């Protein structure tokens, strides 16, 4: 594979054509790291998650001179106990995550590919990674570990995911918050199609337990713009009820409601110091990986 082609593996449509979850995770991360070295973020690399800036009083012998040579800045190599992080990936696998518009992958596929890449990236940094899946309630829990063998278990579980049952994001996230006792980084992947009051209450529960939180809000492009043409039949993916409508007549009202829906999450997450990341299933994966890396640096620093 040529070096300058690696960035194509940040595109969801390309990644979906790869044969295994392990291959998807590896090629997304390789494409991302290649992009880091070519981007305006030059020098902003995954290795910095294992460093922090030099502070007065630090021992000079702990300065990483190789990093200084590349960045002209003083960084301290952190000890293992300072850098290792427990991370929990929490995936919505309810039926609404099965939706996709023509030319796009499903929201569940997007969430699983992104989770696989994040797990691969985190374990490169010796962070412990765990996985929780839910629909109406918690379905699967793999506690955090940091071995390569365990990564295979997580990737196999992500490969097997199937969307099923109704949505219960608020309830399930509260159950997850009760279960996760060790402080860490909680990454949530969902379309958030549930009562916002309940979901936001659950997010506050994680913060009350002193977890750091990134909320990846995953939507299909059509769910954001409601561009379904003049006539369409809508089927509720939770209960299979169908309704014939003319989408263009309600498009403006829908778009306003969606903007309000997103704005509320942005505002309340900001107030709770939760990182809110809006994605659609056509968004290249490096957008989310940058957000993770930014969060990881803040925690590590």
pLDDT recorded at residue 3 = 43
The angle subtended at Cα 172 by Cα 166 and Cα 174, nearest 5°, is: 150
Average pLDDT over residues 57-79: 73
Pairwise CA distance, residues 12 & 124, whole Å: 22
Give the mean model confidence (pLDDT) for residues 284-293.
94
- Please enumerate in sequence order all residues whose Cβ is within 8 A of that of 149, keeping only pairs 6 or more positions apart, or say none: none
| pLDDT tens figures, 203-250 | 999 999 999 999 999 999 998 876 655 554 445 555 666 655 555 567
Alpha-carbon distance values, 133 to 109, 168, 173, 281, 286 (Å): 13, 12, 10, 19, 23
3-state secondary structure 72-135: CCCEEECCHHHHCCEEEEEEECCHHHHCCCCCCCCHHHHHHHHHHHHHHHHHHCCCEEEEEEEC
pLDDT for position 225? 77
Q: 14 and 285 in contact (C-beta within 8 Å)?
A: no
Which position has the higher pLDDT, 196 or 70? 196
CATH class assigned to 84-300: alpha beta
pLDDT digits (tens, 9 = 90+) for 86-101: 999 999 999 999 999 9
**For residues 193 and 149, what is the distance between their CA atoms, to the nearest angstrom?**
34
Of 57 and 177, the structure prediction assigns the larger pLDDT to 177
pLDDT (0 to 100) of residue 1: 42
Residue 114 reports pLDDT greater than 50? yes
Q: Where are the domains of the chain?
A: 3-80, 84-300
Mean pLDDT over 165-170 rounds to: 95
Consecutive H or E run containing 225: helix 221-225
Using 50, 70 and 90 to split pLDDT, how confident is the model at 300? low
């Amino acid at each position: 594979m040529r070096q300058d082609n690696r960035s194509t593996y940040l595109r969801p449509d390309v990644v979906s054509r790869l044969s295994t979850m392990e291959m998807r995770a590896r090629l997304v991360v390789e494409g991302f790291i290649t992009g880091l070295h070519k981007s305006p973020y030059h020098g902003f690399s995954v290795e910095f998650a294992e460093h922090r800036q030099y502070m007065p009083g630090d021992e000079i012998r702990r300065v990483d001179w190789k990093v200084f040579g590349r960045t002209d800045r003083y960084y301290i190599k952190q000890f293992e106990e300072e850098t290792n992080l427990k991370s929990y990936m929490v995936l919505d696998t309810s039926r609404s995550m099965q939706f996709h518009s023509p030319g796009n992958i499903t929201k569940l596929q997007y969430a699983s590919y992104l989770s696989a890449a994040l797990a691969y990236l985190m374990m490169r940094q010796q962070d412990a990674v765990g996985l929780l899946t839910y629909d109406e309630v918690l379905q699967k829990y793999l506690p955090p570990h940091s071995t390569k063998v365990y990564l295979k278990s997580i990737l196999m579980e992500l490969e097997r995911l199937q969307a099923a049952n109704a949505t219960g994001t608020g309830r399930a996230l509260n159950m997850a918050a009760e279960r996760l006792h060790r402080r860490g980084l909680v990454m949530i992947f969902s379309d958030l199609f549930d009562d916002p009051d309940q979901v936001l209450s659950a997010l506050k529960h994680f913060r009350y337990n002193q977890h750091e939180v990134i909320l990846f809000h995953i939507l299909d492009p059509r769910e954001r713009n409601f561009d379904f043409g003049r006539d369409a039949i809508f089927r509720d993916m939770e209960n299979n009820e169908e309704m014939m409508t003319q989408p263009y007549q309600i498009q403006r009202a829908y778009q306003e409601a969606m903007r309000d829906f997103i704005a509320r999450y942005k505002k309340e997450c900001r107030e709770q110091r939760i990182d809110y990341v809006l994605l659609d299933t056509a968004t290249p994966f490096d957008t989310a990986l940058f957000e993770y890396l930014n969060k990881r640096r803040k925690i590590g620093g």
